[in-house]
Amino acid sequence: MGLMTRWKNRILASLGSRYPAFARWLSSGYDPLSLEETPWAPVDFRVSEARLALVTTAGVHHRSQKPFDMNDPDGDPEFREINGAAIADDYTITHDYYDHRDADRDLNVVFPLERLRAMVQAGVVGGVTGLHYSFMGHIDGRHIDTLVRQTAPDVAERLQRAGADAVLFTPG
Amino acid sequence: MGIPTVGISIVREYSEKVRPPRTVFLKWPFGHPLGEPFREDQHFAVLAQAFNALEAIQKPGEIWDLPFRWRRQQYLPPAWKSP
């Protein structure tokens, strides 16, 4: 994808964040994966007793990690592992498809780990895992299969190993 | 056994199609699922609703439309923040 296309994506993203009606019009042209049956894991605990993990599609990652691929028009189905202890002081966002200037200023806008920690401190959330996971939410074409068959199951296994009782998903 | 999930959505049409297990929807701008920068009480309000949905939703694919009106909403500090 050329520089011009990346600029166009950023301009559309900026307009979409400023004018929600424009964003809805933009997104109405996209046909996402449609599931007939929703996978279901029951909740048999209170959130105040549960250890939570975050998974975001907002393109957050550590500065030392490889940025998400912004040149492939179908996006990037890979994920980045987020170290909860370090992310507040060491993050960047690679995602041309939404305007992340506010999230650049306050990560909690898309990845509310600091807020979750305050809730843990107050006893309304049981705990948070040490590791969390991040995707860049523009995943299309051939990459959907990679996401569904490889990277999403990989993240699910990692979340189990991290001891997550429940997961909060946040978009960009 | 999988891990229970709840998601914040800002495009309701996508959530209706993808049908994730539990969703709270906000008619808010892209890039702001928790709200505006540094507005802690706004963020806590969204998280509280998401966790209520996690505990309460029994029907797979259910979407809660949260009533928050972006900047026009008054977000009170959560009860647990009171002295």
| A83-108 pLDDT per residue, tens | 999 999 999 999 999 999 999 999 99
- Pairing between strand A60-61 and A92-93? antiparallel
Res A22: pLDDT: 73
B51: helix, strand or coil: helix
**pLDDT at position A93:** 98
Pairing of strands A131-135, A51-56: parallel
Nearest CB among A55, A103, A165 relative to B31 is that of A103
Dihedral (CA of A157, A82, B46, A127) sign? positive
Q: Which of A4, A25, A36, A30 is CA-nearest to residue A138? A: A30
Give the number of beta-carbon pairs within 8 Å between A and B.
158
- pLDDT tens, position by position, B3-37: 999 999 999 999 999 999 999 999 999 999 999 99
User: Which residues of chain B make contact with A23, given a CB cutoff of 8 A?
Assistant: 11, 29-30
Q: How many Cβ atoms sit within 10 Å of the Cβ of residue A27?
A: 16
Residue A1, pLDDT score: 65
Whether A19 has a pLDDT exceeding 80, the answer reads no
Which residues face B24 on adjacent strands?
B8, B64
Three-state DSSP at A168 gives strand
Residue B1: its pLDDT value, please? Answer: 74
Q: Which residues of A touch B21 (CB under 8 A)?
A: 38-41
**A47, containing H or E segment:** none
| Residues of chain B with C-beta less than 8 angstroms from the C-beta of A116 | 47
Q: Region A42-69: what's the mean pLDDT?
A: 98
Residue partners of B3: CB distance under 8 A and separation at least 6:
A41, A156, A159, A160, A164, A165, A166, A167
Which region among A20-29, A110-119, A150-159 has the lowest average model confidence (pLDDT)?
Answer: A20-29
Q: In the predicted model, what is the mean pLDDT of residues A61-71? A: 97
Instruction: Check: CB of residue A120 under 8 Å from CB of residue B55.
Output: no
Mean pLDDT of A27-33: 75
Asked if residues A109 and A31 have their Cβ atoms less than 8 Å apart, the reply is no
Q: Is B78 on the interface with A (CB under 8 A)?
A: yes
Domain definitions of chain A by residue range: 45-170
Confidence (pLDDT) at A50: 98
ipTM at complex level: 0.96
Mean pLDDT, range A119-127, rounded to an integer: 98
Quick check: B65 contacting A, CB < 8 Å? no
Among A35, A55, A171, beta carbon nearest to B33: A171
Given a contact cutoff of 8 angstroms between Cβ atoms, the answer to whether B28 and B10 are in contact is yes
With beta carbons under 8 A apart, name residues in chain B contacting A172: 30-31, 33
Please name the member of A40, A99, A110 whose beta carbon is closest to the beta carbon of B34: A110
What DSSP letter does each residue of A106-163 carry, written as one string? -GGGT--HHHHHHHHHHTSS-EE-SEEEEEBS-B-TTHHHHIIIIIHHHHHHHHHHTT
Q: From A31, A137, A155, A30, select the one nearest A77 (Cα to Cα).
A: A137
